[in-house]
Amino acid sequence: RLKRYRNLMLTMLLGGLWHGAGWTFVVWGGLHGLYLSLNHAWKHLSSRLFPRPILPRPLAAALGWSITFLAVVVGWVFFRAADFDAARLMLEGMAGLNGVALPNALAARLGGLWSVLSGIGVTTYLGGGSQFIFTWLWVLTLLPIALIMPNTQEIMRHAEPGLLLHSPTEANEIRPLRAATAALAWQPRLRWALLIGFIGALGVLSMTRVSEFLYFQF
C-alpha cells in the first residue's frame, strides 16, 4: 500500500514536470499526487472505521464533491501562476483575505442593502456592474451544466467504457439529478449520427484557423 502512494506521488510529480519546467508545476503535480494518496487512504480506513455509512449516500457524495472541487481549484492555481508570489496572491484573493468588493455602479443601486453589506466590511471599486453581473450569470448558467449533464463516460455508458466506475443505478443514487439526463446516452440512432457529423464538420471547418500548439515549449 505504501508503494502505491509512493508510485502515485512520483507519477504526478513527473506529470507536473512534463507540463512545464518550473517549481509551480512540480507543486501542482505533487498536490494531485497527495490528493490521490489521501483518497485511497481514506477509502481504506473508512471501510474499517465505519462499516456502515454514517451519512446518506447523496449527502456523502455532495460533501466529497465539494472537498474535491476545492482541492483541485487550489492545485490549479499553481499551474496557472507564473511563480509562487503570484500563486500566493491568487489564493489570498480566493480566500477573501483582500476583502470583498462590488462595483460602485452596482452598489449605488442596492439601496438599503448596501448599508448592510458595507456594515460587514464589503467595499466598492471603480467600475460598472455589467461585467460583474455578466460573469456571475455565466457561472450560474454553466454550473448546472457541469453538475447535471453527463460526462463522456456516461454518454457512452451503453458501450461499456473502461472508466465508468458506477452502474447507471449507482450513479443515479449518488447524483439523483443526473437520472433526468439518461436519455442523452449514446445510441446507434440517426440523431446521434447527424449530431456527430455536424460536430465533425465544424471541426474540419475550424482547421483553417491558425492556433499555437499548446505544448510547443514543453
All three cell numbers of 217: 515549449
What pLDDT is recorded for position 126? 81
Provide long-range contacts, Cβ within 8 A and 24+ apart, for 62-68.
68/35
Tell whether the torsion through CA atoms of 4, 10, 12 and 18 is positive or negative: negative
State the total domains in the chain.
Answer: 2
All three cell numbers of 141: 448558467
Provide the 10 A C-beta neighbour count for residue 146.
Answer: 9
What pLDDT is recorded for position 166? 57
β-partners of residue 103 are 125
H or E stretch covering 84: helix 84-94
Whether residue 83 sits in one domain with residue 14? yes
Min mean pLDDT across 13-17, 87-91, 124-128, 130-134 is at 124-128
Predicted confidence band at 175 (pLDDT cuts at 50, 70, 90)?
low
Q: Is residue 174 part of a domain?
A: yes
Whether residue 74 sits in one domain with residue 2? yes
Burial of residue 22, with CB atoms counted within 10 A of its CB: 0-12 exposed, 13-18 middle, 19 or more buried: middle
What pLDDT is recorded for position 214? 63
Average pLDDT, the chain: 84
Q: Choose the catalytic residue: 19, 40, 44, 166.
A: 19
Whether residue 153 sits in one domain with residue 91? no
In the chain, % of residues over pLDDT 90: 33
Start-to-end Cα distance in the chain: 33
Give tens-digit pLDDT for 36-81: 999 999 888 888 888 888 888 888 888 888 999 999 999 999 999 9
Whether residue 154 sits in one domain with residue 88? no
All three cell numbers of 176: 439523483
Q: Is residue 60 part of a domain?
A: yes
Q: Indicate if 32 belongs to the active site.
A: no
Mean pLDDT of all residues in 79-84: 92
Give me the DSSP letters along 21-35.
SSHHHHHHHHHHHHH
Q: Say whether pLDDT at 169 is over 70.
A: no
Whether residue 170 sits in one domain with residue 81? no
Q: Is residue 105 part of a domain?
A: no
DSSP E strands: which ranges in 46-119?
A: 101-103
Residue 52 lies in domain? 1-98
Whether residue 159 sits in one domain with residue 91? no
**Radius of gyration, CA atoms only, the chain:** 23
Whether residue 81 sits in one domain with residue 18? yes
Q: Say whether pLDDT at 202 is over 80.
A: yes
Task: Tell me the whole-structure pTM to 2 decimals.
Answer: 0.71
What's at 15, amino acid-wise?
A: G
Mean pLDDT of all residues in 191-215: 84
Q: Say whether pLDDT at 86 is over 80.
A: yes
β-bridge pairing 123-125 and 101-103: parallel
Give tens-digit pLDDT for 133-168: 898 899 999 988 888 888 787 788 777 665 555 555
How far apart are the C-alpha atoms of 97 and 183, rounded to whole Å? Answer: 44
Give tens-digit pLDDT for 41-50: 988 888 888 8
> CA torsion 113→66→179→135, rounded to 10°?
40
